[in-house]
Amino acid sequence: MVLSSTPVVRLSGVSKTYGSTKALTEVDFSCFSGEVHAILGENGAGKSTLIKLIAGVVQPTEGKITVNGKELVLKNPSIATSHGLVCMFQELSLVPDLSVRENIMLGAPGTGFGWLNSKVVPQAESILEQIDGAHIRMSMRVADLTLAERQQVEIAKALTRNPKLLILDESTSALNSSVVEKVFKLIRKQRELGVGVLFISHRFHEIEALADRISIFRNGQYVETFDNGAFDYGYIISRMVGQRIDDIFPPKKVFNTEAEEVLKLDSYSWKGGFNNVSITLRQGQITGFGGLDGQGQNEVLLGLFGLLKNTAGEIQIAGHSVKITHPKQAKAPDLGIALVPEDRKTEGLVLEQSIARNLELSALGTKGVNALDPTIYQTFLEALELKCNSLDQPVSQLSGGNQQKVALAKWLALNPRCLLLADPTRGIDVKTKTQIYALLRRLADSGIAVLLLSTDFEELIHLCDDAHIFYDGEIVSHLKGSELTAENIIAASLNIQTGGEVHG
């Protein structure tokens, strides 16, 4: 592609320090109009600091920022937005207790001095319709939306700001593949209109599908920029983490189909959520739940953890029929079920509490487990290589990947027989993903049964022994072995049968 002579934004010799911590060091970086420029790097690489500087959230300690050839001091986000620098952050910025309409209008062009610009609302509604969000009413309270719906609203809000540079930080991390492609269609249209796009994602297939150029950051420093397609995954990963990673996913072992049953569902149902779900999960097995967002797969996990009332059908744990009505019952040693929920910040952790206090929460009240004994968590924290100052550090100060490590470790300390995971690697870096994948495989090898809900079909293919694909609250396909392909997963997600064991 041919780039314009003047970048829409340029950073020259930019450094940012917090006390003795160097978040960015002497970075030279440019993004041009009419290009999608992907930023890659593991947690702590400096990606978040980079976009915060461009968005006016923080200011550089050294160096200068130039916008369309003019040096600017971006003292706050309002100034950045006025120059067309619009950012959708990974940590969603919507106000939970306000409606979708009110959130769309907040900070919109023409808003201020007590006035809200309602002209952006029809535009936002049109954008939502284009990304499968027509069901999201403007009157709905943001707190009542799912994580995926909140991301759709954030995308619509960002595009109503008439950006010259659109910064998307893990903007599709909670969306299914069908919605992601529709979002990409909108982004490509923005590119054709001359908008520059900074795109941050830890999903390599998204980078491959969307980006024109890729820049890599590592340990707060700019590494290099190259055209999309110039190098393979192995090279890119080695540049990101500073060492060669031959394979993101651990090798699969031949699964023992005669292993002892841990969990069996027979016609498990919940009115309005899912229907006739029948699966068998054995010791050492990693089974995936796939499908478009909101097809009932997450509700199955919630039901198994005792968070739903009036479920029907049969649940068997180790061959014994049980009725699970409360999380305390589910996590008790005789059942041994653990759930790592989808949204770590609102469902899995208490952000302002320390790491130590968060680790204790799952074990509190569990028979035979001393929640105050730090050694019961240490093995898992070491396996996941948690990066923190001490266990007294507030969880809110950790990166997203390290927060997820805490959310995982607190449940693994209970030594569950069945581990339920809802999109556990959403929005975290490739190195942390690799650590989590390796740990899950070791847990399975030790006999734990793992039920993994994932919106990333690469996880279903490369990590899971088999996968159940949901559509409209029911399992429509059971894929295993050579049937576990991207084509079969996507087709089943759309209820188009091409392979696998057909249900219904």
**What is the tens place of the pLDDT at every residue in 441-464?**
999 999 999 999 998 888 999 999
3-state secondary structure of 313: strand
Question: In the sheet where 9-18 sits, what is the strand order?
Answer: 21-31, 9-18, 62-67, 70-72
What is residue 467's predicted lDDT score, i.e. its pLDDT?
97
Element (H, E) at 183: helix 177-192
Tell me whether domains 9-241 and 261-502 share a fold. Answer: yes
DSSP code at position 350:
-
User: Span 129-144, mean pLDDT?
Assistant: 96
Q: How far is CA 333 from CA 8, 364, 417, in A?
A: 58, 13, 9
Q: Map out the domains of the chain as residue ranges.
A: 9-241, 261-502
pLDDT at residue 293 is higher than 90 = no
CA–CA gap between residue 334 and residue 318 (Å, rounded): 10
Element (H, E) at 407: helix 400-412
pLDDT at residue 76 is higher than 90 = yes
pLDDT at residue 500 is higher than 80 = no
Which pTM value belongs to this model?
0.66
Planar angle of CA 289, 286, 335, nearest 5 degrees? 90
CA–CA gap between residue 431 and residue 241 (Å, rounded): 7
Mean pLDDT of the chain: 90
3-state SS record for 249-289: CCCCCCCCCCCCEEEEEEEEEECCCEEEEEEEEECCCEEEE
Q: Percentage of residues in the chain with pLDDT exceeding 70? A: 94
Report pLDDT digits (tens) over 88-122. 876 668 999 999 999 999 888 777 655 677 889 99
What is residue 225's predicted lDDT score, i.e. its pLDDT?
97
227 phi, psi to nearest 5 deg: -70, 145
Cα-based torsion angle of the residue sequence 19, 22, 23, 24 in order, rounded to the nearest 10 degrees:
130
Are the C-beta atoms of residues 349 and 403 closer than 8 Å to each other? yes
CA–CA gap between residue 86 and residue 83 (Å, rounded): 9
What is residue 107's predicted lDDT score, i.e. its pLDDT?
81
User: Span 321-337, mean pLDDT?
Assistant: 95
Of the candidate ranges 165-169, 201-205, 311-315, 488-492, the one whose mean pLDDT is the lowest: 201-205
What is residue 133's predicted lDDT score, i.e. its pLDDT?
95
CB atoms within 10 A of CB 213: 17
CA–CA gap between residue 43 and residue 292 (Å, rounded): 27
pLDDT at residue 81 is higher than 70 = yes
CA–CA gap between residue 91 and residue 169 (Å, rounded): 9
What is residue 170's predicted lDDT score, i.e. its pLDDT?
84
Q: Which residue has the higher pLDDT, 288 or 89?
A: 288
pLDDT at residue 504 is higher than 70 = no
pLDDT at residue 60 is higher than 70 = yes
What is residue 243's predicted lDDT score, i.e. its pLDDT?
56
User: Span 321-339, mean pLDDT?
Assistant: 95
Confidence of residue 27 (pLDDT cuts 50, 70, 90): very high
Q: Which CATH class is domain 9-241?
A: alpha beta
Query: In the numeric block, which tokens belong to residue 391?
Result: 């266990």
The set of residues, in sequence order, having a beta carbon less than 8 Å from that of 160 and lying 6+ positions away, is 104, 108, 120, 123, 124, 127
Report pLDDT digits (tens) over 383-429. 888 988 899 999 999 888 889 999 999 999 999 999 999 999 887 77
CA–CA gap between residue 464 and residue 275 (Å, rounded): 23
User: Span 72-78, mean pLDDT?
Assistant: 94
Confidence of residue 341 (pLDDT cuts 50, 70, 90): very high
Q: Which CATH class is domain 261-502?
A: alpha beta
Confidence of residue 268 (pLDDT cuts 50, 70, 90): very high
User: Span 1-18, mean pLDDT?
Assistant: 87
CB atoms within 10 A of CB 13: 12
Bridging pattern class, strands 85-88 and 274-282: unpaired
